[in-house]
Amino acid sequence: MSAPLDDVLVLDLTRALAGPHAAMMLGDLGARVIKVESPGGDDTRTWGPPFIDPAEGERESTYFLSANRNKESITLDLKDPADQDVLAKLVERADVLMENFRVGVLDRLGFPVSRLHEINPRLIVLQITGFGHDGPEATRSGFDQIAQGEGGLMSLTGLSEPTKVGVPIADLLAGMNGAYGVVSALYERERTGRGRVVHTSLLAGMIGVHAFQGTKWTVAKEVPGLAGGHHPSISPYGMFATATAPVQIACGSEKRWQALCAELGIDPGREGMATNPERVRNRDAVIELIEGLLSTVSAEDVLERLDKAGVPAGKVRTLDDVYAWDQTLSQGLLIDVDHPTLGSIQLPGPTLRFDDNAYAGGREQHIAPPTLGQHNDEIRAWIES
């Protein structure tokens, strides 16, 4: 069974996370991804701890491992004319080139988009920036936490003060948007025969996920505040304490509210709680009522009772629990790969499955993230053949 992108060659000139994540998504779908690294390697090879030290003088960053599966690595000094020639030969054969240098850096290295398209008119170029490729702040460096703050996400997250999301969500969303744009451009190329440039940014990723919080301002002219552990527009919908551990409860409709009330012995028409707008206005009272009724009940019993009552509810799992969960394993979301220095390791896997393929992503077999320059000789020999 062929993978959706198994005839696509991607040159990944990116580093850190947004670009590498985009390239990895295409690699998961079968594309051949050649990661072009400076002789010093991707920045994330030094990000840690934790590091894994398989042998004296060697170490692998778990951060790097998270964003670089299904890739090959070649080291090139793009200020060196000989290595620039190697890159030009790779561009000739490529379908996609991804870069996340600061605006203008690739031009100064001698590879402006005009030259890339002279070498290969069918090339799709993905450019990921921090705040956009043009505009008054285009030259700013893009770092995830700064983008989370500048893009407003931190103003919505937390209990008592703005808080960043626990993963670099601005980077990850920029990567996802970039991969989506590249696949769209590849589809368009089937009609036009020509490549184009795809732009996205960390800022665009942040604003693109404001969802109802964005229209709360743009339409209703209300500035959203910290959402904490409860939904700002639905109640009850959030995290509730029990006798043993918190649980999440989501009553996204009046039917679900009535089911919750029937299970807990609440009058669904109780004053101030009869409709969702009333419950949102009186959220603190709703939380206090529900938590009071759950204060002597274990989280396990709450979840069992609510499941039988048809009320959506769930645990708040730690990651060790998530990766041991049989539902996670059933979806192919944990994959086994053989790493050149670490041996057999497990990685979080791709998010897509196709037809009856038991493997996540489009591949029958996934490839471990490469060591620095692991494929230097192989790739150089290939472009000269």
For the chain, list the domains and their CATH numbers: 9-209+329-384 (3.40.50.10540), 247-315 (no CATH)
In the predicted model, what is the mean pLDDT of residues 231-240? 97
Residue 175's pLDDT band, with cuts at 50, 70 and 90, is: very high
Q: Say which residue the tokens 């997250």 belong to.
A: 157
Give the Cα separation of 232 and 238 in Å (integer): 10
Whether 301 and 260 have beta carbons less than 8 Å apart is answered as no
Residue 356 pLDDT: 63
In the predicted model, what is the mean pLDDT of residues 312-323? 97
Judge whether 171 counts as a catalytic residue.
Answer: yes
Tell me which of 118-122, 241-245, 352-356 is least confident: 352-356
Residue 357's pLDDT band, with cuts at 50, 70 and 90, is: low
In the predicted model, what is the mean pLDDT of residues 54-69? 87
In the predicted model, what is the mean pLDDT of residues 267-285? 96
Peptide bond into 236 cis (omega under 30): yes
Residue 360 pLDDT: 62
Residue 255 pLDDT: 97
Residue 364 pLDDT: 80
Per-residue b or e along 305-325, where b marks 16 or more CB atoms closer than 10 Å to that residue's CB: ebeeeebebeeeeeeeeeeee
pLDDT at 361 over 90: no
Residue 277 pLDDT: 97
Residue 385's pLDDT band, with cuts at 50, 70 and 90, is: confident
Backbone angles phi, psi at 29, to 5 degrees: -90, 10
pLDDT at 310 over 60: yes
Residue 281's pLDDT band, with cuts at 50, 70 and 90, is: very high
Tell me which of 43-57, 88-102, 134-148 is least confident: 43-57
pTM: predicted TM-score of the whole model, two decimal places: 0.93
Tell me which of 106-110, 146-150, 274-278, 349-353 is least confident: 349-353
Residues of the chain above pLDDT 90, percent:
92
Spot the catalytic one: 171, 284, 301, 356: 171
Q: Mean pLDDT of all residues in the chain?
A: 95
pLDDT at 57 over 70: no
pLDDT at 362 over 80: no
Angle at 199 between CA 219 and CA 29, to 5 degrees: 105
Give the Cα separation of 322 and 304 in Å (integer): 19
pLDDT at 54 over 90: no
Residue 111 pLDDT: 97
Q: Tell how strand 9-12 and strand 96-99 pair up.
A: parallel
Residue 1's pLDDT band, with cuts at 50, 70 and 90, is: low
| 361/267: higher pLDDT | 267
In the predicted model, what is the mean pLDDT of residues 286-300? 97
pLDDT at 219 over 70: yes
Q: Tell how strand 32-37 and strand 9-12 pair up.
A: parallel
Residue 53 pLDDT: 84
Q: Which residues pair with 33 in a beta bridge?
A: 10
pLDDT at 269 over 60: yes
In the predicted model, what is the mean pLDDT of residues 209-232? 96
